[in-house]
Amino acid sequence: MRSSLPLSPLSLLLVLSLVLLPLTMAVKEEDFKKCSQSSFCRRLRSIANKQESAPSGTFNSPYSLSPPQAIEDGSWKWPLESSLYPEVKFEFRADVLAEGDGIIRLRIDVIDSTTPFKRYNETARWALLDTNPPLSSSATIKTSSGKSIITYGPSSSKLSLEIQHSPLKVTQLRNGKPEIVFNERSLFHMEHFRIKDVESAQEILSESEQVVLKGDQQDRSWFEESDIDAFEETWKKWRDSKPKGLEGFSLDLTFPGVKHVYGLPEHASPLSLPDTIGPNAHYSDPYRLYNVDIFEYLADSPMSLYGAIPLLHAHSKGHSVGVLNLVASDTFVDVKHDNDAVRTHWVSESGILDVLLLPGPKPQQLFEQYAVLTGPTPLPPQWSTAYHQCRWNYNDEADVLEVDRKFDEADIPLDVTWLDIEYAEEHRYFDWNNRFFPDPVKMIDAVASKGRKMVVIVDPHIKKTDSFRIYSDAKELDVLIKKSDGNNFEGWCWTGSSVWVDFFNEKSWAWWTKMFDLKTWKDSTNALFIWNDMNEPSVFDGPEISMPRDNIHAGGWEHRDVHNINGMMFHNQTAHALIARETPAKRPFVLSRSFFAGSQRYGAIWTGDNMGDWEHLAGETAMLLSNNIAGMVFSGADVGGFFGNPTPELLVRWYQAGAFMPFFRAHAHIDTKRREPYLFDEPIRGYLRDIIRLRYQLLPVWYNAFHDSSLTGVPIMRPQYAVFPEDEQGFAIDDQYYIGDSGLLFKPVVKEGAETSEVYISDAQPYYNYFTHHLYPASAHQTLSLSTPLSTFPLLIQGGSIIPIRQRVRRSSPLMWQDPFTLTIALSKDGKASGQLYLDDGVSYSYQQGEYIWKDLRFDGNTLKSTSKANIEPTSREEGVVAYDPENNSWAQAVSHVKIESIVILGMKGEPKTIKADGQEVDWVYENGVASNGKREGESSMLIIKNPGVGIVGDWEIVFS
């Protein structure tokens, strides 16, 4: 969070003295680099311009391969040479992974360098579950006529990798048809370490003018360019010493036969990424992946934001493929749609080429393949999926308890109250400000007595004062990030003069864990959880409001090498610290602002400092969908917008949108008016209360979705193309989505004064209005127009779905654990439906020992059955997981008394004669209406069975005749 003026005197003095933060409500684009302002991007992006202007067939890659050598089963390497620098030795390696149905890993690095430098090669260590995943023993290779062809994957996939030796080109094919091509445009280039040769360069006319690096006088100008900033770079007042000189690399990846590519979060851009170059360019600069603290970001821009996941999906009606580019340095990506393919150009400041090709062939498999590599989101604490209330800042203990009480008075449920930076004395996180929070444990206990939790912020900047134990410990351990001269780096942030712990240094890990121990942090309890903000890292007086690139981390690596991983390292260690603070361990909750590939393993993220306006509300859906398809499923946006004072109408629409985000938190800037939902008069208060209560009623649906994602990495927010991968009309839709596999289709209302909304339907199934049970008959590729006054919004149930809900809403979700369920059954056009219900204790890891229930719910038109499902996936993947006993586990026994209190069936074509639950007749009420198999629109028929006498644990069946 960055802002104008906080309340505390120290913050006021800091901001006024440094004049660091803007006072106007707008992003300062000049604070962040464009491609033309980064020497590596200018140099390497220019190769594409040369290729574009060269006559057809005359621009060929200078890189070529020698014959391959086998390393082990599933792995081969080739000597790689550049005609530009024959003396420099490169190596190309291809691995076929054992898991993932045909994932290919391609790596290129410099070997036997004559300089003391090496390229950063540890991104995989932090992003992947296994730095070197197991290899396939069934892959085979044949080499002839200057080509190596690897055959791999399941026999049904018919996958192959064709490696052209000279000029270098690599093609992934399925059934002989190319789906991914590396170096099709000959844009791959890996700069090598060298000594600056001033005498060999042409005369430099200006700082920005490019010059040819000739060295031995070989003319390389047709391909390679350099500039005065190649070995030392100055931007504004900051100097980057660049001791290694040139170390950037670029690659081009082409996706034949597709028109849509998705991914590259985090950007405020459409889900289907528009062009950045060419005649149809939507943006004038490439998509940038460089985690920054950006003030009031634009609602539509390729500018970098807080997170960076270098993952791209390419999708067509016939196939889906993906690429994961394991690079953590500053990266720009150009996208261009041509008639025959989508072409991309990736340019990075440092690192090795380490690219994983995901074969698909459908979106579902891409999600699973990415989870095989980087891991899925583990099951979070159940309470964290409910409603969170935050602002910068709740002033003191009385304020916190007043907010807590007011929610109860207004009959609005609440699970978590948050405290921003002002809770800490002089922003020394861990140290409470005793003037305003004299007894934090008592305050937390009071909140926890209602089943609620609290979250406080712990940012990575540490106040540089010897009286602060965190600083003195870190200094003594020597685990602080260094400047290029080897001294501890100091910068400015909320604490004033600050230092940063180097979480790449393994010595910091056990120490950080100890900081959260309840015996060490005595003003904490196990009901207190953590918010990691500012971890890009944000440095107020640093270049691009971040850390100098020539800072040094453990292992001698420069910050430029690891920048995009930095926030994940902080997130990781904080999550592990919370796990370690209790025995037996409980699931952690840590919110992070910065993230990278693999961050999903450690907790939730949010989209940062958004604006409370209609434009940002409209843009959040696409951002969150992009996060979800890239594995970052536990994500949300500041409900209401962080900046500004939304009108009551806009605030209601924000809450409606927020209630259908996986992470549902209201948050606001310190300068905004208080906008807790209980503060408003009717009907606004009622609208806000109703939508929050709806979130609680639907918590079983959300927990089902989190559970599914924890097994295979599937998104919680599922875009249209992922649910219906063959419907081309839905490929660019990014303003509506499905919640897991529930069949619930949601669309936020994002236009002021909107009284109607349109929802696109792909499949030939009936859809039901969740609130009114109005039935829209089955008709594929139709657009429905729904009435959406401020009191409602589009929420549809797909025919064929069974929705488990809890109608009784209590003041916090943990208090609902014994409450009964209602099953809403929306029949398909053939009169059937299916669904699921997963439950565990919501806080522990006992589910890994079989302590849960998981029911498969099915209605075939005559019989409704609940049968236990076997949780196969964790059993096969997680060490120590035991076989699932559906009824004889302690959790199942604890909830054995919980009943199904009501069953509502929509769309039946007629009233049954009898209904028996496990042989006993039950009572029901039937209301005539439109049937699911008809062609008429209108109020659906509804059959309600009250108290059917069945529970959530045992298997049962209800027979209709």
Mean pLDDT of 495-503: 98
Q: Give the phi and the psi of residue 30 in degrees, each rounded to 5.
A: -70, -10
Helix (H) or strand (E) holding 570: helix 566-580
Poorest-confidence range of 195-204, 243-252, 480-489?
A: 195-204
Helix (H) or strand (E) holding 508: helix 507-515
If pLDDT is split at 50, 70 and 90, which confidence band does 196 have?
confident
Residue 883, pLDDT score: 67
Residue type, 102: G
| H-type alpha helices, 608-742 | 614-629, 648-658, 684-697, 699-712, 720-723
Does residue 809 contact residue 693 with C-beta atoms inside 8 Å?
yes
Reduced to 3 states (helix: H, G, I; strand: E, B; else coil), residue 187 is: coil
Does residue 737 contact residue 746 with C-beta atoms inside 8 Å?
yes
Task: State the angle between helix axes of 440-448 and 397-409 in degrees (0 to 180), rounded to the nearest 10.
Answer: 10
Q: Give the phi and the psi of residue 155 in degrees, each rounded to 5.
A: -60, -30
Residue 25, pLDDT score: 56
Residue type, 753: G
Place of tokens 């944000």: 538
The whole-angstrom separation of Cα 563 and Cα 740 is 33
All residues at 6 or more sequence positions from 746 whose CB lies less than 8 Å from its CB, including other chains: 660, 736, 737, 738, 739, 793, 794, 795, 796
The whole-angstrom separation of Cα 103 and Cα 322 is 10
Does residue 109 contact residue 91 with C-beta atoms inside 8 Å?
yes
3-state secondary structure 498-566: EEEECCCCCHHHHHHHHHCCCCCCCCCCCCEEEEECCCCCCCCCCHHHCCCCCCECHHHCEHHHHHHHH
- Residue 207 in tokens: 């700082």
Does residue 786 contact residue 754 with C-beta atoms inside 8 Å?
no
For 463, how many CA atoms within 13 A lie in the half-sphere containing its CB? 21
Residue type, 944: I
Mean pLDDT of 33-39: 96
Strand partners, 139: none
Poorest-confidence range of 219-233, 268-282, 727-741?
A: 219-233
Place of tokens 């015996």: 519
- Residue 20 in tokens: 């660091």
Residue 781, judged by CB atoms within 10 A of its CB (0-12, 13-18, 19+), counts as middle
The whole-angstrom separation of Cα 170 and Cα 426 is 56
Sign of CA dihedral 354, 360, 363, 369: negative
Mean pLDDT of 339-354: 98
pLDDT at residue 745 is higher than 70: yes
Name the active-site residue from 179, 247, 609, 741.
609
Residue type, 948: P
pLDDT at residue 209 is higher than 80: no
What distance lies between CA 633 and its chain's CA centroid? 5
C-alpha closest to that of 80 among 221, 183, 196, 194: 183
- Residue 937 in tokens: 């629109």
pLDDT at residue 22 is higher than 90: no
Neighbours of 788 (CB within 10 A): 21
- Please give the domain boundaries of the chain with CATH numbers for all domains: 63-191+246-374 (2.60.40.1760), 382-461+503-712 (3.20.20.80), 749-960 (2.60.40.1180)
Does residue 259 contact residue 316 with C-beta atoms inside 8 Å?
yes
Q: Which one is predicted more confidently, 872 or 68? A: 68
Quick one: DSSP state of residue 643? B
Scored b (16 or more CB within 10 A) or e, 298-317 reads bbbbbbbbbbbbbbbbbbbe
Whole-structure pTM value: 0.95
Scored b (16 or more CB within 10 A) or e, 892-916 reads beebeebbbbbbbbbbbeeeeeebe
- Please calculate the CA angle 732-735-737 and round it to the nearest 5 degrees: 95
If pLDDT is split at 50, 70 and 90, which confidence band does 276 have?
very high
- Please calculate the CA angle 558-354-563 and round it to the nearest 5 degrees: 30
Residue 954, pLDDT score: 94
Does residue 759 contact residue 786 with C-beta atoms inside 8 Å?
yes
Residue 27, pLDDT score: 82
pLDDT in tens, 896-931: 999 999 999 999 999 999 999 989 999 999 999 999
How many angstroms separate the Cα of 522 from the Cα of each of 213, 416, 565, 670? 60, 21, 31, 28
Reduced to 3 states (helix: H, G, I; strand: E, B; else coil), residue 783 is: strand
Does residue 542 contact residue 297 with C-beta atoms inside 8 Å?
no
The whole-angstrom separation of Cα 307 and Cα 563 is 11
The whole-angstrom separation of Cα 929 and Cα 907 is 7
Mean pLDDT of 786-806: 98
pLDDT in tens, 850-870: 999 999 999 999 999 999 997
The whole-angstrom separation of Cα 449 and Cα 451 is 6
The whole-angstrom separation of Cα 842 and Cα 852 is 10
pLDDT at residue 664 is higher than 60: yes
Mean pLDDT of 799-809: 98
Name the active-site residue from 349, 533, 558, 734.
533
DSSP track, 346-373: EEESSS-EEEEEE--SSHHHHHHHHHHH
Mean pLDDT of 248-269: 98
Distance from the first to the final alpha carbon of the chain: 61
Name the active-site residue from 81, 300, 368, 536.
536
> Among this protein's residues, is 533 annotated catalytic?
yes
Q: Which one is predicted more confidently, 874 or 539? A: 539
Quick one: DSSP state of residue 97? B
The whole-angstrom separation of Cα 669 and Cα 646 is 12
- Residue 745 in tokens: 């289709």
Residue 885, pLDDT score: 86
pLDDT in tens, 108-151: 999 998 899 999 999 999 999 999 999 999 999 999 999 999 99
Mean pLDDT of 496-504: 98
Strand partners, 232: none
Does residue 833 contact residue 806 with C-beta atoms inside 8 Å?
no
Mean pLDDT, the chain, integer: 94
Q: Give the phi and the psi of residue 928 in degrees, each rounded to 5.
A: -70, 150
pLDDT at residue 2 is higher than 50: no
Q: Give the phi and the psi of residue 697 in degrees, each rounded to 5.
A: -65, -35
Percent of the chain with pLDDT over 90: 90
Strand partners, 857: 835, 866
Does residue 213 contact residue 223 with C-beta atoms inside 8 Å?
no
pLDDT in tens, 76-112: 999 999 999 999 999 999 999 999 999 999 999 999 9
Reduced to 3 states (helix: H, G, I; strand: E, B; else coil), residue 697 is: helix
pLDDT in tens, 153-186: 999 999 999 999 999 999 999 999 999 999 999 9
Place of tokens 């797909």: 798
The whole-angstrom separation of Cα 271 and Cα 263 is 7
Mean pLDDT of 23-44: 87
pLDDT at residue 198 is higher than 80: no
If pLDDT is split at 50, 70 and 90, which confidence band does 216 have?
low
Residue 870, pLDDT score: 74
pLDDT at residue 23 is higher than 90: no
